[in-house]
Structure 1
Amino acid sequence: MSEKNKIQVLAFPQFIESQSHPESNRYVFAYTITITNQGAIPAKLLTRHWLITDANGKVQEVRGEGVIGEQPYLKPGESFRYTSGAMIETPVGIMQGQYTMRSDEGESFNAIIPKFTLSVPRTLH
């Protein structure tokens, strides 16, 4: 990925106790994502691809257009923030993935979503 197409993705996960039911192996997490165009040219987010893995190794793959029904267009220096959610069957899991972006020059490239941990508080030390 060239410096002209540089997207930073930051994730902040949170356990949602009120929607979780550990006795039914249901653990609900919200995550807030901030996508920042650190490159030199504008780019539009086209699609998302997530891999959500629980502690048993069960993988959920999620693909789709945009994020939360939007395909944000980011000029250099601009950010887009959204919150979404995931449900897994264990108290700990990981999420990672990528966004497919298209620059104003018509070039498609991937913005990597770094791996982050979903964890019920006081589960990991």
Structure 2
Amino acid sequence: MEKRIINPWEWQDKRSYVQAVEVKNVESTLYVSGQTAISADGKSSDEDMKTQLIKALQNLEHVINEAGYEPRGIVRLNIYTTNTAELWPHFPVLQDWIAKHGIKQALTLLEVKSLFETLKVELEATVVK
């Protein structure tokens, strides 16, 4: 697999994403449903934003690994949150996770009216290998 990063500017580097990712010679592609702070027994978290973000990242990584992929193969990440102002102080948690795995992904962040039950953040990814 070949990945080419397209960044006509530098400002996005501080925000831990890229403007575009071109991928060639892909062996396979994994489309991951939105991962949230839901426990292994299916219980939605009612904890704070930071705790939910950490659990959503853990769940995302678990699904990716279970499928035989690696987080560094993420080429697209969509973040849905019920409150961007509440998410911003914890954005370094996401940035650290991205840096830890060497991920270079296109990213979209959307504030939505609500998510399932008590959830505050959801992560949807496209992963290649």
TM-score by length of 2: 0.31
Tell me which structure has the larger Cα radius of gyration: 1
Which of the pair has the greater relative contact order for Cα pairs under 8 Å at 6+ separation?
2
